[in-house]
Amino acid sequence: MESTPAGEAVEVSREALTFARSLAAEGGGVPVDAVLVGEPSAELAATLAAYGVRRVHALTGEAFASYAGAAWAAGVQDARETSVVVMAAGTPRGNEVMAHVAAREGVAMAANVLSFSGLSPFVVTRQVVGGAALEEMRLADRPAVFTVAGHAVEAAPADVPGSAEVVVRAPAVAEADLVARVVSSEEPEPDLSGTLKSARVVVGAGRGAGSAEGFAELVELTELLGGSLGVSRVVTSLGWRPHHEQVGQTGSRISPELYIPCGISGAIQHWAGCSTAKSILAINTDPEAPMVTKATYAVIGDLHEVVPAINAEIRRRHR
């Protein structure tokens, strides 16, 4: 269970709780417990109750003061007691801690699961090849360890709320599990991918931008829309824009209200990073480009003609 610095449950964790509840129902109505580091705020406890959580295991103590994947996994193991399924959201932290748990338990782990199909044997379907293919995978009966892909399910509160009884735990953690821990953390620079991930509008650009200098009108459109600029891998490989602006399988995964990919053909790796955008407006010279056929809206044309015209029209109407 992950929460924001303000103590609110992050959406992917609420999705994971929703997934857990459907799994628990399939298993005959077994209870769902949550593990988190630190004690929950009143707001977070209320959210956990609303999502049907029976018990909240709050990991406290010096061992959990800063992030250490192995220590957090030890805490999860301590809290899981007799639970037969251990799962987390498919975030970097979620994947890492679950991989530690699986290695310690000596069982398989499935990353980025979308659904399950049967409990005995326990078979899950997960994303591979950046979401371009799916894998059906068999997991151990106890514990089954996996992470849930973002937007695999829609987050929804339970019909019957849970009690979210808080159990404070301070398990002993072996020294070896604390060797690799975060020793310092600095605020991200304001233009890092955090902005990209949370932007309502993202203007995307690919090889069609033509050069590092070819971004002026794209940056202007981004500013006019109050959004963020996201680029394809080829753009960062060519050194036209910095890597933190990259959208895709090995860059940021974005879910804006509107994504405007300009001059991006829509390679699988890029699609992996933008497929959860609510709407996509593709601007491309090729009407058959995958990004165009998968988009909600499209303009067929050269971005260097289309984007300045859009910018001029916005300025005309919203001067």
Q: Which of residues 180-239 bind other proteins (CB under 8 A)?
A: 180-188, 192-193, 200-201, 224-227, 233, 239
Q: CB–CB of 76/187 below 8 Å?
A: no
The least distance separating other proteins from the CB of residue 131, rounded to whole angstroms, comes to 8
For other proteins, give the closer residue by CB, 218 or 299.
299
**Of residues 249, 255, 264, 273, which one binds other proteins by CB under 8 A?**
249
CB contact set of 65 (below 8 Å; sequence gap of 6+)? none
Cβ-proximal residues to 202 (8 Å cutoff; 6+ apart), any chain? 196, 227, 228, 229, 230, 247, 254, 256, 258, 259, 260, 274, 277
Q: What is the C-alpha to C-alpha distance for residues 267 and 233, in angstroms, rounded to an integer? A: 10
> Residues in the chain, how many?
319
| CA dihedral sign, ordered 79, 84, 88, 94 | positive
DSSP 3-state assignment of 125?
A: strand
Nearest to other proteins of 60, 125 (CB atom): 125
Q: How far apart are CA 57 and CA 164, in angstroms?
A: 9
- Applying CB under 8 A, the site for other proteins has a residue count of 93
Min dist. Cβ of residue 150 to other proteins (A) = 13
CB 136, min distance to other proteins, A: 4
Least distance in angstroms from the C-beta of 306 to other proteins: 6
Give the separation between CA 221 and CA 227, rounded to whole angstroms.
8
The only residue of 25, 62, 132, 167 in contact with other proteins, by rule CB under 8 A:
132
Answer yes or no whether residue 133 interacts with other proteins by CB under 8 A.
yes
Task: Report the residue from 1, 2, 75, 208 that binds other proteins according to the rule CB under 8 A.
Answer: 2
Residues with Cβ within 8 Å of residue 2, at least 6 apart in sequence: 9, 10, 12, 13, 36, 88, 89, 91, 93, 94
Residue 282 is a binding residue for other proteins (CB under 8 A): yes
Kindly indicate which of the ranges 50-58, 74-82, 120-128, 210-218 contains the residues binding other proteins, using the contact rule CB under 8 A: 120-128
Q: Scanning residues 12 to 31, which ones bind other proteins (CB under 8 A)?
A: none
Measured between alpha carbons, how far is residue 135 from residues 89, 130, 138 in Å?
A: 18, 12, 10
For residues 81-110, which are near other proteins according to CB under 8 A?
Answer: 91-93, 95-96, 99-100, 102-104, 108-110
Interface pick for other proteins out of 25, 168, 212, 309 (rule CB under 8 A):
309
Least Cβ distance, residue 78 to other proteins (angstroms): 18
- Give whichever of 55 and 233 is closer to other proteins, judged by the CB atom: 233
Q: Which is nearer to other proteins, 1 or 49 (CB)?
A: 1
CB of 194 to other proteins, least distance (A): 8
C-alpha–C-alpha distance, residues 183 and 4, integer Å: 20
Angle between helices 216-224 and 303-317 (to 10 degrees): 30
The encoded tokens of residue 18 equal 């929703």
Question: What is the nearest approach in angstroms of other proteins to the Cβ of residue 103?
Answer: 5
Q: Which stretch binds other proteins (CB under 8 A): 49-57, 77-85, 157-165, 277-285?
A: 277-285
Q: How far is the CB of 159 from other proteins (least distance, A)?
A: 30
Burial label for 20, CB within 10 Å (0-12, 13-18, 19+), is buried
